[in-house]
Structure 1
Amino acid sequence: MKTRHLLASLTVASIVFAMPAFAADSAQDFVDKAAVGGKFEVDSSQLALNKVQDQSIKDFAQRMIRDHGAANTKLQAVAGEQKLKVPAALDAQHQADLDKLKNGQAPIDPAYVDMQRKAHDEAVKLFEDYASKGDNPALKTFAQQTVDTLKMHRQMIEKIAARQDSITGATTPAVKTDNTPNAAALVPGANSFTEAQAKSRIEGAGYTNVSKLAKDDQGIWRGQATKAGESLAVGLDYQGNVVASK
């Protein structure tokens, strides 16, 4: 009987001691991804300052250096207090993206904007998830304090992307004044935009209150939005074209 009690006690003790190790691994994973993402933001933006042409993109890059630089410093401090290691180098994928910018012929405006859109989609998801379900209270608070800034960055870069597309003709904003949807401007095809990306893209084209988004059988995201005080049906195709109708 005593032996069984001893074994049961040891089993409980093993579980108790195992849990912090699991929590540390999960927290370390967040630190790894957040640190690499933050470093990429700063490094790519420093590089972009000398290789992009559009002044609004330069201004965005400067803001990334400032905001992500501050967030990186805060993450290092919090991670240090939690006895977690902050990676000093980029991972292979981020380094490959940075090398593309470094080796690309100036101006690199489109490549930088595309990378920033992808990076901020990933960062918002990472920080939202950890802010909600994180296992380390200090890092969870850091994520909660940082995620709104990341969302603001994502909205900024989507607006820049929409404006760039309108200059190059890649986006076709068209608010109809009759009851006939301008469906011809939307191109059917496999759509890789997530719902969050579709919403950000539509908001970047000047719409607000974007809701009820659903992808139809042609790969087109459709929903409701507001522009100039009007409630409109809005669509987004796989090319990034945004079209609305009454």
Structure 2
Amino acid sequence: MRNSLRLASLSLAASVVFAWPSLAAETAQDFVTKAAIGGMFEVQSSKVAQDKLQDQGLKDFAQKMISDHGAANAKLESIAGEQKLKVPADLDAAHKSDVDKLQAGAAPVDASYADMQKAAHADAVSLFEAYAKDGDNAALKSFAADTLPTLKMHQDMIQKVATTAPASDGSTPAVTSGATNPAAPVPGANSFTEAQAKSAIEKAGYADVSALTKDDNGIWRGTASKDGKSTPIALDYQGNVVAGTK
């Protein structure tokens, strides 16, 4: 009897453990709702911002968002219809607020648009990765897995474009390694993470980047080496990399 009870307890525990991943995963309707809203936001925000962008790289990115997400949205709507799932007709309040900000903002809106796109693609990649792995609908899992590489490519694009885009007020643009920008480093709200700041500095030709901290002006400061020599280094919110500043 004791052995029977013990086996029954182990069986129940195992069933709970193995059932947990499916409980944690997005349901098909949750995925459709979030994916559709995210896709609509990409298209609407890019259409609104396109004529207010100054940097050509961001303009090209916005056009790609309209094209790529427009196609993905149509495919998602088709699959959702086949699966008898509801596709939202409009944005939720948070995404609509962001689109309204771009609509009301004075040109150029480069920094605002880039920040929104970085956040939106971080959310999208996370959503699609999770559903492609643990989703509860085969057709939607396939869609998530097929779309994920494009979303990751978009995420990489906006990180690179945002690093070299001009300031939102149209002031001095970001510089590449070896160029000169007398105004840099430019104070301003900096959305780069420490890892992104380090990567941007390394791409400018520096190695051994260390001790990075963001100061009160939004400028990442630390040390790095180039040609065997160590130097103070700074990265501002525009992506300008400036050596020899403290």
What TM-score do the two structures reach when normalised by structure 2?
A: 0.64
CA RMSD of aligned residues (A): 4.7
Of 22-31 and 123-132, deviating more is: 22-31
Question: For the structure 1 residues 78 and 155, does the alpha-carbon distance in structure 2 shift closer, same or farther, using more than 3 Å as the test?
Answer: same
Does residue 1:163 correspond to 2:171, yes or no?
no
For the residue of structure 2 that corresponds to 1:29, the secondary structure is: helix
Are 2:180 and 1:151 equivalent residues in the alignment?
no
Flag the 1:84–1:63 CA change in 2: closer, same or farther, 3 A: same
Gap runs ≥5 in structure 1:
1-21, 176-184, 223-234
Structure 2 residue 50 is matched with structure 1 residue 54: no
Query: How many aligned positions are there?
Result: 217
Q: CA deviation at 1:218?
A: 5.0
**Distance (Å, rounded) in 2 between the aligned partners of 1:150 and 1:162:** 19
CA displacement 1:11-50 (0-9 Å, x = unmatched): xxxxxxxxxxx79971111111110010000011111222
Aligned residue number for residue 133 of structure 1: 134
Cα gap change, 1:174/1:116 in structure 2, threshold over 3 Å: closer, same or farther? same
Asked whether the equivalents of residues 120 and 150 of structure 1 are also in contact (C-alpha less than 8 Å), the reply is yes
**Residue 173 (structure 1) shift:** 7.1
Question: Structure 1 residues 57, 24: CA separation in 2 closer, same or farther (over 3 Å shift)?
Answer: closer
Report deviation, 1:198: 6.5
Show the counterpart of 1:113. Answer: 114
Q: 2:39 is matched with which residue?
A: 38
1:95 aligned residue: 96
CA gap 1:163/1:192 in 2 versus in 1, 3 angstroms: closer
- Counterpart-to-counterpart distance in 2, 1:24 and 1:152: 24
Q: Is the aligned partner of 1:64 residue 2:61? A: no
1:68 Cα deviation (Å)?
A: 0.2
Corresponding residue SS for 1:89:
coil
Q: CA deviation at 1:174?
A: 6.8
TM-score, scaled to structure 1: 0.64
Q: Percent identity?
A: 53
Post-superposition offset of 1:55: 2.4
1-structure distance, mates of 2:130, 2:25 = 17
1:89, 1:57 → 2: CA distance? 25
CA contact (8 A) 2:26 2:136 kept: no
